[in-house]
Chains A and B, each alone.
Chain A
Amino acid sequence: MKDNIKMVLVLTSIALMSALVLTGVYEFTAPIIEGHAQEAIARSISEVLGQIEDMEVLEIEGKEVYKAYRNGELVAAVITEASGYGGAIQVMVGMNLEEEKILHVNVLEHRETPGIGTVIEEENFTKRFAGLAFKDSYRQDVDIISGATVSTRAVITAVERAVEFIQKHLGDEIQLENRGDL
């Protein structure tokens, strides 16, 4: 009996100590970790949209949409994903809503084969999207990289999804604004 009590006491106090220490560690590191995540998104937004002003973050269907103005024109960026070779590939797509064109595409997260599927990260591939119009067929206009068919096709799918999403949810907004200009 005495042994049992000691057992429970020792285990409980070790667990309590552990929880206490970890709470401290978490309180200390959580803001820094959160900061890194914000920084990464901010960096990616400036990569895909360039010099922007008046950025607004909209919550649409659980996705964050970053809406802003560049040289007075309405631009937006959104993160979408599609499954590649090693799992989901996350892509941020920046678009000019008034010219209905893609500005720039940035691959955020992926687990593609190193040295093969990783070509999707390279500027050489992502620049193929720049300047394409919303109505273009990306499957025809963006060349697949041979040897990395699955990975490149997944990026194309993700970009299609982003364009579709933005057209569906922000399409009206442009018309409203244009009317305002008149």
Chain B
Amino acid sequence: MSLLNIFKNGLWNEHPIFRLLLGMCPVLAVTTTAENGLAMGLATTFVLVSSEIVISLLRNVIPARVRIPSFIVVIATFVTIVDYTMMAFAPAIAESLSIFIPLIVVNCLILGRNEAFASRNTTLRSIMDALGMGVGFTWGLVILAAVRELLGTGEVFGFTILGEWFPTWNVMVLPPGAFISLGVILALLNQLIIWREQRIQGVK
């Protein structure tokens, strides 16, 4: 696979949220506002890229039997760096994401990519993989968060989009709204895929 294809892979074909259903806890928990979604996406991308760089560099040094604990320590280190950096320089966002920043450490996406990709590939390829997955994860979070913020408060990124006339659906920013909006988005995307496949088969 070429470098570009590795990058593009995470954007749609193996999209972590919509195709693989990975890392669902932060996806549902922090997507109350588009800003939170974006911050979470960027934080996860940083951890993903840095850990894949380190793991791919160390891939021939780490013995197979201590692979998982080594990965966990590396990931947890970068997570703590993000945690403290955000608390210092973006305290408001750090507070609204609260425990979901340290919980990046158990995001199955990160351990999964390190285990499946970075431990078997060169650093350059791993960076492309991490960037693709990170960007994919981030746009997924932002889309979901924007939908919830728009319907729940009439705003996106804090800017009013829907005017006074719109009766805001408060439930969208509450826990049930997270499940339902992600479920509906998933169903719509599935339907798009089904239609596309039907069209391709029709052409044949």
Among B62, B80, B87, B88, which residue has its beta carbon within 8 angstroms of that of A10? B62
Given known contacts A3-B63, A11-B66, A18-B73, is B173 in contact with A115 (CB within 8 Å)? yes
Chain A contact residues, majority secondary structure = helix
A22 touches B153 (CB 8 A): no
Query: Which residues 11-62 of A have a CB within 8 angstroms of B?
Result: 11, 14-15, 17-18, 21-22, 25-26, 28-30, 32-33, 36
- Residue A116 at the B interface, CB < 8 A? yes
A29 touches B63 (CB 8 A): no
Residue tally, chain A, CB below 8 Å to B: 23
Task: Determine the residue in chain A with the shortest Cβ distance to B169.
Answer: A115
Q: Mark B78-95, 1 if CB is under 8 A from A, else 0.
A: 001100110111010000
Chain B contact residues, majority secondary structure = helix
Assembled-state Cα–Cα distance A78/B95 (Å): 22
Set of chain B residues within 8 Å of A14, measured between Cβ atoms: 58, 62, 70, 73-74
B32 touches A33 (CB 8 A): no
Residue tally, chain B, CB below 8 Å to A: 27
A21 touches B61 (CB 8 A): no
Assembled-state Cα–Cα distance A32/B94 (Å): 14
Set of chain A residues within 8 Å of B153, measured between Cβ atoms: 115
Among A6, A17, A26, A114: residue with most chain B CB under 10 A = A114
A25 touches B84 (CB 8 A): yes
Q: B residues near A, CB below 8 A? A: 32, 58, 61-63, 65-66, 69-70, 73-74, 76-77, 80-81, 84-85, 87-89, 91, 152-153, 168, 170, 173-174
Q: A residues near B, CB below 8 A? A: 3, 6-7, 10-11, 14-15, 17-18, 21-22, 25-26, 28-30, 32-33, 36, 113-116
